[in-house]
Amino acid sequence: MDIKIVYFDTPFWRAEVARLALFVGGIDFKDIRIDGDEFKTIKSTGAMTDGTKIPFKQLPALSVDGKTICQTGAIARFCGKISNLYSDDILECAQIDQIIDLLTDMNVLIRPAMIEKDSLTKSNMRKELSETLLPNKIQLLEELISDKDDKEFCVGNKISIADLGVWRVMGWLSTGIIDGISSDILKPFPYVTGVCQHIADNPKVIEWVSLTYPSSYSWLRAE
């Protein structure tokens, strides 16, 4: 298969789940990282300058043998299936899906505070995110993991796209990148933190980080 992941040059979770799944699974793919001008072309024409169709005019996008798929969950599941990071058990698949959807819910919660123009309103919104809205969501994930026998992974007893997504979203939240979101946000959640550390210690994740992440990136990065 000719596989391309199309996104910006950043390790944001929406694309990184797919990139990491393919890399960890040893699946060859082209990591296409576009700039603002290319994105403007996508938004106006529904295609890249090389002709790759982007049907929803949004990113990330996955191209497989010339056919393009959008939406984070759909892309993550496809990449998880071909890289053996998505369960063969139908119930576990649903459990993985619910975590990807929870991460999407968290992303949606954060977005208004990212685009708010008024500084005071933005500050108040992020304070609420840091103190109530996001911890409430993370607590739900904490409880899911705490109820499992094997607490190294979010679902089942091996790495899945759910773990990759959790690692990246929690890293995004706790690095201090988002002004107003406490870098200590994960301290009350040892099981979530434990999953993230386990993923950070994965040799293939370490390799991917060393190849593609900015040198300044440090959250739960195994040296």
pLDDT digits (tens, 9 = 90+) for 136-189: 999 999 999 999 999 999 999 999 999 999 999 999 998 877 888 888 999 999
β-bridge partners, 5 = 31, 62
pLDDT band at 7 (very low <50, low <70, confident <90, very high): very high
CA distance 138 to 170: 9
Q: Give 217's pLDDT tier (boundaries 50, 70, 90).
A: low
Q: Distance of alpha carbon 44 from its chain centroid, rounded?
A: 26
Domains of the chain in sequence order: 3-82 (3.40.30.10), 90-212 (1.20.1050.10)
CB-facing half-sphere around the CA of 129: CA atoms within 13 A: 24
Q: What is the mean pLDDT of residues 43-59?
A: 95
Residue 176's pLDDT is 74
Mean pLDDT of 99-115: 94
Q: What is the pLDDT of residue 222?
A: 38
